[in-house]
Amino acid sequence: MTTILAITSSPSSQGSVTTALVDQFVENWTRANSNTEVVARNVASSHLPHLDESLIGAFYTPEDQRSDAQKQELSLSDAIVDEAEAADVIVIGSPMHNFGISSSLKAWIDHLSRVGRTFAYTETGPQGMLTNKKVFVLTARGGNYAKSGTLAHLDQQEPYLRTVLGFMGMTDVTFIHAEGVASGTEGREAAEQQIERSVQDAILSIAA
């Protein structure tokens, strides 16, 4: 059994390119491998709360010292971490907002980044704990921010996600970008084709 965690983060309820790409990824995967469980979380429509002083305090309170109120406050974050821990494959739909990620995706990352759960401080430095997972980030950008283009230096989306996911131990990360979606369909079509190839390759590597 393979467990896929599918994260969508577009505020658009209809017509979202990244949501469509995530749906395509899941459909392609489950068609090729029926022995798959899919857990879906739409972090935009669920309006994840941003971190505040009280929640951060609960994060850093030792588990055996937390009050009932703190345990209740941590229940959503705990569920988010549990989902990521249980997943073999994580696919993230990430529209580019102002050169970076959406605020709802940032909120999900903030709930997922938990000392003692998804990373630990050791004598040799921070150590990620969410290891042995395949991660696919499916993005949509209004312009073309490809590494070979003139706007590449403005891309704060991929570098940030690579850094923060890697910090939590997720280093096997594949980015598939739908570039220039504001001006045509070429970038989206290229992303769709790459998703098909990437799903096939990933299923074969897991089977091996």
What the block records as the tokens of 165 is: 């996911």
70-91 mean pLDDT: 97
pLDDT score of 206 more than 90:
no
Gap between the Cα atoms of 82 and 139, Å rounded: 24
Q: Are strands 119-122 and 125-128 parallel, antiparallel or unpaired?
A: antiparallel
pLDDT score of 207 more than 80:
no
CATH number of 2-207: 3.40.50.360
163-192 pLDDT, tens digit each: 999 999 999 999 999 999 999 999 999 999
pLDDT score of 208 more than 60:
no
pLDDT band at 153 (very low <50, low <70, confident <90, very high): very high
24-49 pLDDT, tens digit each: 999 999 999 999 999 999 999 998 99
65-74 mean pLDDT: 95
Domain ranges for the chain: 2-207
94-105 pLDDT, tens digit each: 999 999 999 999
pLDDT score of 141 more than 70:
yes
β-pair partners for 174? 136
Among residues 152, 129, 132, 139, the alpha carbon closest in space to that of 179 is found at 139
Instruction: Check residue 48 and give its pLDDT.
Output: 93
pLDDT score of 123 more than 60:
yes
